[in-house]
Amino acid sequence: MIETCPLSSVVDVSAGQPAPKTSEFADTGTPFIRAGSLENLLNGGSLADCEKVPEANARRNGLKLYPRDTIVFAKSGMSATLGRVYRLKAPAYVVSHLAALVPTGRYDPAYLTHWLRGNPPSHLIKDPAYPSIRVSEIEDVAVPNTPLPEQRRIAAILDKADGIRRKRGDALVMADGLLKSAFLEMFGNPVSNPRRLAQKPLAECARFISGATPSKSNPAFWEGEFPWVSPKDMKVDTIHDAEDHVTESVFQQTNLKRITAGTPLIVVRGMILAHTVPMAITAREVAINQDMKAIAFDDAIDAIFGFWCLRVQHDAILGRVSTAAHGTKRLDTENLGAVPILLPDKRAQLAFVSIVRQFETLRTSVSDAVVEARDLFQSLSQRAFRGEL
C-alpha cells in the first residue's frame, strides 16, 4: 500500500479572492482567472486570453498574486463538478470560486497536477445539486508520500506521454486542414466570395435549435444512455457520443430537444471562444446544453457542405464573438445568423461531400492513433499512482 500524507503538508492550500468590478479590468495588467477560464486554458488557450487587472486596482481590491506552478481548480458552483485542473504558466490573480495550491518546494507541481487529474477533487462534493468543497477538505486530501526525485521521474514520463497525445491530436488538426483546402479550391472563401456564387446569411437558410440542462437535482434525468453534448465534448469533428447521458423521459418532462443525426453543432458561449469556436456534426441523435446551438439547414443545402462552409470561416466567426458583462465570451444569435453561406448547385455540393466521405477513411486512421496515445497516457497515469511505473 502506498504511503500518503495530507495535501496541506506539501503545498499551501487557499482560495482566491472576489472579482473586482467590471470597470476595474483593463486591456493591460496581470491575468485574472475565473472558473470559466479553465476550459479555455486547458484547451490550449493562453493566460493572455484572460481578463487583466492593473496592479493598482489589484492592490485596492486586496488581490493575492499567485506564482507560476500554482495549481487551481473550481471548488464551488457547477464548474466544481467538471474536474478541470490547471497549473499556472505565469503569475495570476484567482477568483474566490477557485482553490489554489501554491508550491512550497516539498512536492513537484507537475506530478501533483497529473495526480489531481487522475483523482479529481470533484469527488469531495457531497451534494451535486449544490456543489461545494471546503478548503479544509482539500487540505485533508491524502496524496502519495512519494520522494521528490521519484515524483520528478514519474512526471517526466507522463509529460512525455501527454506530449505524444497532443502531437497526434495536432496531426488530426493538420489532416482536417486538407478538407478546408479542398473546399476553398472548389468554392472560394465565403467571406470574400471570389467566385461570385449565390449566398445567403445563415439565419435565412437554416434554423437554430437551442439546448438546455435538465435539473441536476433530479438524478433520474442523468441515468440514461442518450448523449447530452456540452462544449467539453466538442473536441472532435464528428459527435458519436458524449461524456454525459440523459434518460428518454427527460424529453417529455423538460424543454430539452432531440437533435437529429447529421446536424452541425456550434459552441456559442464559454471562455473557449476567446480563441476557438468549436464546431462538430452529429453522427447520431443527441441533445445539447445551453452553451451550444444546433444548425438545421434548409433542403437546398447539404448539411455536410453547410458544416464545412462554416468551418472554413472559423476565424471570421471568431471575430464575431463578444464579451458579456461578467466576462464570459459569447456568439450571439444575430452575429451567428449573419455568417454568409454559399449556395452552389446541389451537384457541386455533393461532389465536395464525396471528397469528405473518402477523406474519412484517412482521418479514421489518424483518429485511431490519437485514441491509442490517449489510452497509453491514461494507462501510464494509473500505473504511476499505483506505484507500478
pLDDT at 165 over 90: no
* SS3 category, 251: helix
Cα distance between residue 180 and residue 113, in whole Å:
36
pLDDT reading at 343 higher than 90:
yes
pLDDT at 231 over 90: yes
Classify burial at 335, counting beta carbons within 10 Å of its beta carbon; exposed 0-12, middle 13-18, buried 19 or more: middle
> Tell me, what's the pLDDT at 377?
64
Q: Which of helix, strand or coil describes residue 151? A: helix
Whether the pLDDT of residue 166 is over 90: the answer is no
- Tens digits of per-residue pLDDT, 44-55? 789 998 999 999
Nearest to 181 by CA among 95, 308, 78: 308
Residue 387: the pLDDT is: 67
pLDDT for position 360: 78
pLDDT tens readout for residues 100-143: 999 999 999 999 999 999 899 999 999 888 899 999 999 999 99
Contacts of 371 (CB under 8 A, 6+ apart): none
Q: How far is CA 166 from CA 116, 139, 271, 299, in A?
A: 19, 32, 21, 38
More confident residue, 325 or 268: 268
Task: Output the furthest CA–CA distance in the chain (Å, rounded).
Answer: 70
Task: Kindly state the cell numbers that stand for 157.
Answer: 514520463
More confident residue, 39 or 186: 186
Q: Stretch 317-343: mean pLDDT, rounded?
A: 92
Residue 171: per-residue pLDDT: 67
User: What count of other Cβ atoms lies within 10 Å of the Cβ of residue 136?
Assistant: 9
**237-258 confidence digits (pLDDT tens):** 899 999 999 999 999 999 999 9
Cα 84 to Cα 74: distance, rounded to the nearest angstrom: 7
228 pLDDT higher than 70: yes
Q: Under a CB-based contact definition with an 8 Å cutoff, are residues 15 and 93 in contact?
A: no
Residue 25's nearest CA partner among 55, 70, 68, 64 is 55
Return d(Cα 204, Cα 331) in angstroms, integer. 17
